[in-house]
Amino acid sequence: MMTDMTVIPSIGAALPAAPFHARHLIGGVWMDSADGAVSERISPSHGVVVSRAAKGGAPEAEAAIAAARAAFDDGRWSGLPGKARAAVLLRVADLIEANVERMALLETLESGKPISQSRGEVGGAADLWRYAASLARGVTGESHNALGGDILAVTLKEPIGVVSIITPWNFPFWILSQKLPFALAAGCCCVVKPSELTPSTTVILGELLAKAGMPDGVVNIVLGYGQPVGAVLAADPRVDMVTFTGSTGVGRAIAAAASGTLKKVALELGGKNPQVIFPDADLESAADAVVFGVYFNVGQCCNSSSRIIVHADIAEAFTAKVVALSRKVGFGDPLDPETQVGAIVTPEHGAKIDGYVTAAKAAGAKVVLGGAALSVPGLGAQFYQPTVVTGVTPDMAIARDEVFGPVLTVLTFRTLEEALGLVNDADYGLSAGVWSENVHTCLAFARGAQAGTVWTNTWMDGFPEVTFGGVKQSGLGREIGRQGLEEFLETKSLVMRIGRTRAMWVKTA
């Protein structure tokens, strides 16, 4: 079966001469951990040490929070006009574009994603910074001038304060850029903790922020693991908000840690995202979108369309079309620009993916493509084959859980109501898609689907202007768009009386 797949062997590309040295950034000072602890990241695709990072603990996390708190309280950033904050964010965007190659190489080697994808994500993130810069100049409240001739009230929008930003390994720079520039545009000061698996591009961003003129202490970076660093960032009373992207399980733990101080929590969590295909759809485009949706980033994507719900009349033929396209997708060396799908992030995660497939087969499902590790010549076996599973029933774990790998499950339906029932019978509600040439079908589906984003006749098109987030156990709050800025703002009501018109409460006569 493997001979029928498109496997791209190692191209023998030159690797960095030495690991990247990643350090904490606290109060404008780069530093190693006080105890000298470090962690090494071994490339999942090439097996070499890519980065050697300071491994922080509670002391580093607390020092970073103190630095952010001091920076916010003295107004060195929040007190600037929006125009001045926007100017810094625009300079950061320019510097990101000037450093794409350096950052993309490290992101590819740390995460295993293809170099062409890393270049697109790092370079594309500059647009998020530019859009956030535009919002920095337009923070507005409301006015209430119909309360009577002697009363004027306004609502003010003010930065929420100190924000802890905890980011995942699957899109290290992109997801950071969906959070940090919007928090900065609002006037907040931040402490950032990237995943211990992918710290390097976040550290490089710290360098670029300093070059762009960001005041010391406004953005602090602490490297390390969720325990204890992430836990401190969530629980510390000096932090006003925590925003996290990652698994639903970890999201629950962060919400619990933050509950002690009732701070605001924004969570972008997992998904079990369906694409529903009707017989009248453009089946060629739909099949291509299904293949893209399940294999992009090796399926290690919260928006992965890991299940398709296909009309029974076309299910067999459509699945065959998806399988044929899957065989043509280039899996292999992430440093080859032609590669479309790279490596699984860790061996443990690869074993978890395979466990879902094995359990599905034991429960009666049929693996019609893949279903095993993939060996890439010259690079080893930390890859997984493109996998399609049919005969799936809604109660199977592979149909309900977030597998987070290149594994597609196929279910069938006959009516729109049945399709929506399958879509909504999930703990998650991040995104959903529908394919039909009938606009009424698409609109009815969009109204009925329980999801934060619905795509019609496309998949995973996104724009800085269009907000993103989930419902149910896919998260709380929204990112990007104007709502992405609003997440980092508090509303204050100001009521003003004009003239001496207030009635006296105490009767003196």
Neighbours of 1 (CB within 10 A): 12
Nearest C-alpha neighbor of 465 from the set 451, 481, 476, 441 = 481
Residue 298 structure tokens: 């090796």
SS3 331: strand
Cβ contact 236:62 at 8 Å: yes
Distances (CA, A) of 417 to 30, 129, 422, 437, 440: 57, 41, 9, 18, 14
Q: Which helix (H) or strand (E) holds 154?
A: strand 151-159
Vertex 464: Cα angle to 462 and 465 (nearest 5): 100
CA distance 333 to 340: 9
Catalytic residue among 62, 107, 268, 402: 268
CA distance 284 to 287: 5
Residue 70 structure tokens: 């001091």
What residues does 310 pair with on adjacent strands?
Answer: 277, 412
Chain centroid, CA 210 distance in Å: 24
Nearest C-alpha neighbor of 188 from the set 166, 211, 212, 220 = 220
CA distance 460 to 307: 14
Nearest C-alpha neighbor of 56 from the set 199, 196, 229 = 229
Cβ contact 503:152 at 8 Å: no
Whether 302 is catalytic: yes
458-491: buried (b, 16+ CB within 10 Å) or exposed (e) per residue?
A: ebbeeebeebbbbebbbbbbbbbbeebbbbbbee
10 Å CB burial of residue 61 (0-12, 13-18, 19+) is: buried
Nearest C-alpha neighbor of 273 from the set 472, 487, 483, 480 = 472
Cβ contact 150:179 at 8 Å: no
Neighbours of 375 (CB within 10 A): 15
Amino acid at 23: R
Catalytic residue among 188, 189, 301, 302: 302
CA distance 256 to 234: 9
CA distance 471 to 454: 12
Catalytic residues: 268, 302
